[in-house]
Amino acid sequence: MHQAGILAPGPDDCTVTLEGLSRSDAYVYADWGIRCNVIRPGFIETDMTAKINSNPLVRKMTEHTMSHTILRRRTGKAEEIANTALFPASDESSYITGTDIVVDGGWFTSAPYLGNERSHHMLTMIKKKEEVQQFLPHFR
């Protein structure tokens, strides 16, 4: 379950409930031509999150977290969520229903891996290991 103030992606009770509601409503209302989808935003800059940035220590910790766990290395903007909402509301998305649209800069997809990679440079180390292994046969 998600706790307020914890920057940890993953399914929480609310996410699972909304996904289920979207799928259920899509099934129920399909015959009336009504599409039901969920937009799942990541960490978005709003008046509510502005309070976080007012504290220098918390702001620094948040920036570090965003830099190490979000592919886009930044927080999202409210306009990006609004622009995302325009597509499912348009006729161009007439075949999309019963799904969730994740708008989080790659946070949910990458956080378990990216935080470790950016902190420990694992991919660079693996590449160097591969380069070294290519030359080892020449020295044996």
Could you tell me the CATH number of the domain that includes residue 118?
3.40.50.720
pLDDT in the model for residue 19: 80
Residue 55 within any structural domain of the chain: yes
Per cent of the chain over pLDDT 70 is: 70
pLDDT in the model for residue 43: 85
* Mean predicted confidence (pLDDT) in 24-46: 91
pLDDT in the model for residue 4: 44
Q: Look at 119 and 25; give whichever has higher pLDDT.
A: 25
pLDDT level of residue 140 (50, 70, 90 thresholds)? low
Q: How many domains does the chain have?
A: 1
**What is the DSSP annotation of 9-32?**
-S--HHHHHHHHHHHHHHHHHGGG
Residue 24 scores a pLDDT above 80: yes
| pLDDT, tens digit (0-9, with 9 covering 90-100), for 56-115 | 888 888 777 777 777 888 889 999 999 999 999 999 999 999 998 999 888 877 766 666
pLDDT in the model for residue 87: 94
* Mean predicted confidence (pLDDT) in 119-128: 65
Residue 5 within any structural domain of the chain: no
Residue 122 within any structural domain of the chain: yes
Parent domain of 82: 13-139
Residue 78 within any structural domain of the chain: yes
Cα–Cα distance measured from residue 107 to residue 133, given in angstroms and rounded to the nearest whole number: 33
Residue 77 within any structural domain of the chain: yes
* Mean predicted confidence (pLDDT) in 19-25: 86
83-to-15, 27, 48, 80, 91 alpha-carbon distances in Å: 21, 26, 20, 5, 15
